[in-house]
């Protein structure tokens, strides 16, 4: 007990606090059960709702602001490493090395200054703004407890007032055994004692009610004034905070733009001195994207493109010249046409010009000899050579068959409309130079069997929508 007294806590105070908690718990239970009325203040409850909403919004804003600052710091580190890389690759004899190093230093200082100003003018202001909420929140909770104390004291006093008449009736007509057993001469003293005791309890209850009401009203009045004022202050705070962030960011980008322009000038001077070694970025063609008319159809399910099979035999070229039945491509970028017929001849529409023949001969002198096995060609409806000789049901120049693996919607008048499962008879282009990479010329087998007319039925189609069939 002496130890408790040394800390300013007495047994009586502890007992009083425990009694208050029990009284509040009892009062709340009675209020929830509907056996005791509860003091309501709708205006204050609306203020509390606004307070909770304002606290939630401010906490979220503080969190997002910290995330923004973390992003600025990360961007600063990335920019710093990028400038360090530039300084390492910038050789000493290149012009503008000192200027580039100075720009990198100013860039670093600008990031540091921007981050620090955001902390001072935005984050610290945000922390100060939210710093007032915990105290007000605890006062709102304390006001709620004092309201319960006030209701409890009010109910206790009202119960004593209600029982006043019953007590007076008991005093006027003794009913207790003590009063009946007492002599006649002392019954008056007992009655006087009971009256005094009842008045004392009533007076104490009234004093407790007045005290509880005073404490509650003082806290209530203060909060009724502070909460609306705090709610209205949020507008000015949001305006000032975002104006500061916007202004700092605007100035930062202005200064950073100047540094970037200076760095660009340094690099331009470097380019002028080493202009002959300028690096040109070239677009890389896709492996499976056709080039016809800048269109790039691809299979809808991402399946690999079906590529026609071309068999190439790497055999030494005979000394007497080109092997009959085989030709070389006109250039490394132009593949050999599979439509070339045996004996090294081509259809009239695809014949080479004299200049092209000379270029082909020049190219063949610098390339290894390659023998390309061509498929049997058809002349006037007759397949020459191979097991297909004598077949009249194939279009002239037929090379091989493919089957559509996906639907393809034609986007031009010279294209074939394909459905999955359609069989296409592949034929050579009349002019090989018109063939685009990834596209084939052909006629659907069903159309050929029905019409037997190439001019009306043939068309081009994307190779990667089909698959070669035997």
For the chain, which domains are there? Answer: 31-275 (1.20.1270.60), 292-315+325-341+359-469 (2.30.30.40)
- Please give the helix or strand (H or E) that residue 114 lies within, else none: helix 97-118
Q: CB-side exposure of 282: number of CA atoms within 13 Å?
A: 5
Q: How many CA atoms lie within 13 A of 68 on its CB side?
A: 17
Q: What is the pLDDT of residue 166?
A: 59
C-alpha distances in Å from residue 356, one per residue of 116, 350, 361: 70, 12, 9
pLDDT given for residue 203 in this prediction: 77
**pLDDT given for residue 295 in this prediction:** 54
At 183 the pLDDT is 56
- Nearest CA to 58 among 236, 225, 238? 238
Q: How far apart are CA 151 and CA 405, in angstroms?
A: 83
DSSP, collapsed to helix, strand or coil, labels residue 66 as helix
CA distance 382 to 379: 5
DSSP letters for 230-277: HHHHHHHHHHHHHHHHHHHHHHHHHHHHHHHHHHHHHHHHHHHHTGGG
**pLDDT for position 184:** 56
pLDDT at residue 71, as a whole number: 96
| Distance, CA of 466 to CA of 468 (rounded, Å) | 7
Contacts of 376 (CB under 8 A, 6+ apart): 342, 383, 384, 385, 386, 388, 389
Q: What is the pLDDT of residues 195-220, one digit of tens each?
A: 666 667 777 877 888 888 888 888 88
The residue ranges of the chain whose pLDDT is under 50 are 1-6, 171-172, 174-175, 282-286, 288-289, 304-390
Q: Which two tokens stand for residue 193?
A: 């004692």
pTM of the model: 0.49
Q: What are phi and psi of 384, to 5 degrees?
A: -95, 120
pLDDT digits (tens, 9 = 90+) for 43-71: 889 999 999 999 999 999 999 999 999 99
């Amino acid at each position: 007990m002496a130890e408790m007294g040394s800390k300013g806590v007495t047994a009586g105070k502890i007992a009083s606090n425990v009694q208050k908690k029990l009284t509040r718990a009892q009062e709340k239970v009675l209020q929830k059960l509907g056996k005791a009325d509860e003091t309501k203040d709708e205006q204050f409850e609306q203020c509390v709702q606004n307070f909770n909403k304002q606290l939630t919004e401010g906490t979220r804003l503080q969190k997002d602001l910290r995330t923004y600052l973390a992003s600025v710091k990360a961007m600063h580190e990335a920019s710093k490493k990028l400038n360090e890389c530039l300084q390492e690759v910038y050789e000493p004899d290149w012009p503008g090395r000192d200027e580039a190093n100075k720009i990198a230093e100013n860039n670093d200082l600008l990031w540091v200054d921007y981050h620090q100003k955001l902390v001072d003018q935005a984050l610290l202001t945000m922390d100060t703004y939210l710093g007032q909420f915990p105290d007000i929140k605890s006062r709102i909770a304390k006001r709620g407890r004092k309201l319960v104390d006030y209701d409890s004291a009010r109910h206790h006093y009202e119960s004593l007032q209600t029982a006043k008449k019953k007590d007076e009736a008991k005093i006027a007509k003794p009913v207790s055994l003590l009063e009946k057993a007492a002599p006649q001469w002392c019954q008056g003293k007992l009655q006087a004692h009971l009256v005094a005791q009842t008045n004392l309890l009533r007076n104490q209850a009234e004093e407790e009610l007045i005290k509880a009401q005073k404490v509650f009203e003082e806290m209530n009045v203060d909060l009724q004034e502070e909460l609306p004022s705090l709610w209205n202050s949020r507008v000015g705070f949001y305006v000032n905070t975002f104006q500061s962030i916007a202004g700092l960011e605007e100035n930062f980008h202005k200064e950073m733009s100047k540094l970037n322009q200076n760095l660009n000038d340094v690099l331009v001077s470097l380019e002028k001195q080493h202009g002959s070694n300028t690096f040109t970025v070239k677009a890389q063609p896709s492996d499976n994207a056709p080039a016809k008319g800048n269109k790039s159809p691809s299979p809808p399910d991402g399946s690999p493109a079906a590529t026609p099979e071309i068999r190439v035999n790497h055999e030494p070229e005979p000394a007497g010249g080109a092997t009959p039945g085989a030709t070389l491509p006109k250039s490394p970028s132009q593949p050999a046409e599979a439509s070339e017929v045996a004996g090294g001849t081509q259809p009239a529409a695809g014949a080479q010009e004299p200049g092209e023949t000379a270029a082909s001969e020049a190219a063949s002198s610098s390339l290894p000899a390659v023998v390309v096995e061509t498929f049997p060609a058809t002349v006037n409806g007759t397949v020459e050579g191979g097991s297909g000789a004598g077949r009249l049901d194939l279009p002239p120049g037929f090379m091989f068959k493919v089957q559509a693996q996906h639907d393809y919607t034609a986007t031009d008048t010279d294209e074939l409309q394909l459905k999955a499962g359609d069989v296409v008879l592949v034929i050579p282009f009349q002019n090989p130079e018109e063939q685009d990479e990834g596209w084939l010329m052909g006629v659907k087998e069903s159309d050929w069997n029905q019409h037997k007319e190439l001019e009306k039925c043939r068309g081009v189609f994307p190779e990667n929508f089909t698959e070669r069939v035997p």
